[in-house]
Amino acid sequence: MTESAGTTRRPRGRPSTGVRAAILASALEIISGDGLDQLTTRAVAKRAHTSEASVFYHFGDKVGLLQAAVMAGLGPLKALDPAAVTGALDQPPVETLAVITAALEQFFNHAMPVIATIQSDASLRRAFAERLVEGDLGPHRGVQLLADYLRAMVTRGVVRADVDCDAVAMLVVGGCFLAAWQRAMSGDTGDGKLPELRRIVEALGVLLAPDVLETERSASVGDRAGRRRQAGGGETSPAAAPRRSR
């Protein structure tokens, strides 16, 4: 059968680019404005100006859509300079910690409404938890990222050697989460009731810094050893030292 004049056939195959982003944006709008009861694949498709089949094509089901909605907030963390978070970048830890905590806070600000939606439905919560376990996803990934950075800083000698990096990382990530939760629950009325993350980072900088006396003592020992080597042309041991004539 020939196609009648003026009729546009819908292209087959993969949906056009931009549809996935439109679906995600629509889902987040419904979550923030209308709540879980209104979050249906049909409602999302209608708001995104696409078909319900496209929702299933890109995300599989409602749980997959919510998982993608949470993961969409990882942009600030993915944008972090790898040289900075691995400790290869030569900059003070306070500066790097400030960048990491800002990215974590942005992620939690984005994810908080979605997380609240998931927690409000028992079956959805169980299904979402299974997906997280399968993909090894969750807050522990942020803790690992920060702990690995702190360990690199310990190796470089700019963070105290006796620091429990995993515990410190959990405290920092927990602070970022709490700040986002306060904002989600109280809005602008909650501003100023918690310390700013900048203050937390500055306090950490003081607490994590190596002991000044210990650092100076190590440097002094190194300097003395270097001067001895320069004066004697190498290391001097008791066995190699010349004996005094009697």
**Sign of the C-alpha dihedral, residues 45, 48, 51, 56?**
negative
Question: Quick one: what percent of the chain has pLDDT higher than 70?
Answer: 78
User: To the nearest whole number, what is the mean pLDDT of the chain?
Assistant: 80
State the pLDDT at residue 223.
Answer: 57
Cα distance from N-terminal residue to C-terminal residue, the chain? 121
Task: Express each pLDDT in 126-176 by its tens digit.
Answer: 998 998 899 888 889 999 999 999 999 999 999 999 999 999 999 999 999
Cα 142 to the center of its chain, rounded Å: 4
| Inter-residue contact 68 to 135 (CB < 8 Å) | no
CA atoms within 13 A on the CB side of 231: 7
pLDDT at 177 over 90: yes
Radius of gyration of the chain (CA): 28
Task: Express each pLDDT in 181-225 by its tens digit.
Answer: 888 888 777 677 889 989 999 999 999 999 765 555 555 544 555
State the pLDDT at residue 147.
Answer: 94
Better-predicted residue by pLDDT, 17 or 112: 112
pLDDT-based confidence at residue 117 (cuts at 50, 70, 90): confident
